Amino acid sequence: MQVDEALSQLGRGLGLKTVVLIGGLSMYPQLKALAQNPHIIIATPGRLNDHLNQKNVRLADAKIVVLDEADRMLDMGFAPQIQKIFQHLPAARQTMLFSATMAPEIIKMASRYMKLPLRIEVAPTGTTAERVTQEIFILPKEAKVQMIEKLLAQYLGPTLIFTRTKYGAKRLNQLIRELGHPCAELHSNRSLSQRQDALQGFKSGKYRVLIATDLASRGIDVIGIELVINFDLPSQAGDYVHRIGRTARAGSGGHAISLVTPDQRGDLKDIERLVRKNLPVSKLPDLPPARVPRFASESRRDRFASAAPNISRHLSGRPRSNRGNRRPGYAAGRPFRRRY
């Protein structure tokens, strides 16, 4: 969606027409847009293949093909989908491949779909933004939420928090909302409309805090993020660079803070080797007292009883069923007539 917004601004004076083909939306508006013969198609691999299979679009006349975030598409298992798309493309074309890393899989993809590829490296792998200050806190896992509370009181600007799992993002979202901060979550378990609301709300200031996983974070292009927090260290060192690159954009400064448990010192060393510097470890400040979240402080029976007292009362006072002692021909103690 952000690519379409940027192209619409750039091509407004040129009369360029674009169409967005992504899953989670009705195909009918996309069919109407395709009927207008757009100059540029912006698509996810799965939805583009859906249209190709239904013969809604032809790529035989395509002149330029762009694979953006190629490394992430491979991580998400889109290689077979990409291969199907290239079967519909003409041999005479210009192909551009953008990737944050040059893993062996990316080099293999380039050699497969490109002729005499020219490699252009904007910055060496592991290069971080110059204006971002990086800081490490070593702390127990149980103290992370208290540290988040401390940081959100210290930094008052827009904050992006990364977790390793979708469940972690959901749980942290609940905790931060209980602290009184407008917050949203962004991960693959959210519907398209929910992801759009989270991203647009973060841009507009509706949500001060956005919690995201790595796979969902690639679409985040927001100016003015003051603080990036690594609630969990990434599973791959390269993702650390992508994460903290969300702050200190457009010439502004920013902060990146990582919460590291004692058993993750090895992962921290991997990151330091990649960025070619020792990251400063700060002394742990005085933390606020631990809070017991509402959803954790209530037992399941208490929550159920408060939501449905009548049902809870019936469940607790209802006599045990004698279903196992019923004789054939009887239902709940009442005889019924057999049917032959």
86 and 201 inside one domain: no
What is the average pLDDT across 50-74? 93
205 and 85 inside one domain: no
Which residue has tokens 């809870």? 312
Domain boundary residue, one of 261, 282, 303? 282
136 and 276 inside one domain: yes
176 and 67 inside one domain: no
What is the average pLDDT across 263-278? 95
pLDDT for the residue 315? 40
pLDDT for the residue 216? 66
pLDDT for the residue 303? 45
138 and 105 inside one domain: no
In this structure, of 12-16, 24-28, 119-123, 274-278, the range with the lowest mean pLDDT score is 119-123
pLDDT tops 90 at residue 156: yes
Residue 125: phi and psi, rounded to 5, are -55, 135
Quick one: 207 exposed, middle or buried, by C-beta within 10 A (0-12, 13-18, 19+)? buried
Domain boundary residue, one of 78, 113, 148? 113
Q: Are 82 and 112 a contacting pair, CB within 8 Å?
A: no
Answer whether residue 67 is part of any domain. yes
| Percent share of the chain, pLDDT over 70 | 84
Answer whether residue 109 is part of any domain. yes
Domain boundary residue, one of 232, 266, 282? 282
Largest Cα separation within the chain, whole Å, is: 85
**Overall number of domains in the chain:** 2
Answer whether residue 313 is part of any domain. no
CATH number, residue 177: 3.40.50.300
* 98 or 332, higher pLDDT: 98
pLDDT tops 90 at residue 160: yes
Encoded tokens for 243: 């994460």
152 and 64 inside one domain: no
Q: How far apart are CA 56 and CA 91, in angstroms?
A: 21
pLDDT for the residue 159? 97
137 and 109 inside one domain: no
pLDDT for the residue 293? 61
**Per-residue pLDDT tens for 173-224?**
999 999 999 999 999 899 889 998 999 999 999 999 999 998 767 667 888 9
pLDDT for the residue 309? 42
294: pLDDT confidence band, cut at 50, 70 and 90? low
pLDDT tops 60 at residue 325: no
* 63 or 304, higher pLDDT: 63
For residue 81, give its domain range. Answer: 2-113
Which residue has tokens 């990151």? 271
pLDDT for the residue 104? 84
Which residue has tokens 């979240």? 293
Q: How far apart are CA 239 and CA 211, in angstroms?
A: 15
3-class DSSP string for 148-175 = HHHHHHHCCCCEEEECCCHHHHHHHHHH
* 6 or 101, higher pLDDT: 6
254 and 165 inside one domain: yes
What is the average pLDDT across 218-246? 89
**Per-residue pLDDT tens for 20-57?**
999 988 999 999 999 999 999 999 999 999 999 999 99
Residue 229 belongs to what H/E stretch?
A: strand 227-230
Q: Are 105 and 72 a contacting pair, CB within 8 Å?
A: no
